[in-house]
Amino acid sequence: MDLTAGYLWFKALHIVFMVTWFAGLFYLPRLFIYHSEASDDISLKRFRMMERRLFVIMSIGAVLTSVFGVVLLHINQALLQQDWFRTKLVLLVALFAFHLRCWRWIKLLAAGQMPANTKWLRWFNEIPTIFLLAIIILAIIKPTF
């Protein structure tokens, strides 16, 4: 099977699932803030359910983004020689660490371990924006270092 013929399709799917993943990364930390500020049982249960479901959806997005990214890399292995691409890979590893940190927050909040205040969560909520900007700039501009 000639994967090269489908390169643009794989790239399009890679971007579609990246958008899915980032939609979750943008919204889930905001849910953590709302969850932390909720006090009634109905709201707490609702936030636990919403967080779990969103995490599943964004995890599917992360996996499919990765699958199509690996296919693209398999087709164009010369990318590994580019500094911008290696930097992008480092950012992706850090993004997966952020993703796993979200899972930890889900567990903490489900166990009733609420933060004393939501200041840190409000900063945490902004981290995906930094990743998105850096990754998109690297992928489009392809700077040389």
Q: Which residues of the chain have pLDDT under 50?
A: none
Structure confidence at residue 2 (pLDDT)? 77
Q: CA 99 to CA 51: how far, in whole Å?
A: 13
Q: How many CB atoms lie within 10 A of CB 115?
A: 14
Give this prediction's pTM. 0.94
The structure tokens listed for 65 are 């983004």
Q: What CA–CA distance (Å, rounded) separates 65 from 94?
A: 15
How many structural domains is the chain composed of?
1
Write down the pLDDT at residue 1. 63
The reported pLDDT for the residue numbered 116 is 86
Which candidate, 62, 59, 60, 88, places its Cα nearest to that of 73?
A: 88
DSSP label of 125: T
Residue 92 burial (CB < 10 Å; 0-12/13-18/19+)?
A: middle
- For the chain, what percentages of helix, strand and coil (3-state, to nearest 5) are there? 85, 0, 15
The predicted structure's pLDDT at residue 4: 85
What is the per-residue pLDDT for 145? 85
Domain that holds residue 38: 3-141
- Residue 128: burial class (beta carbons within 10 Å; 0-12, 13-18, 19+): buried
- Cα dihedral 107, 52, 123, 27, rounded to 10, equals 180
> What pLDDT is attached to residue 50?
98
Which of helix, strand or coil describes residue 18? Answer: helix
Q: What is the pLDDT of residue 16?
A: 98
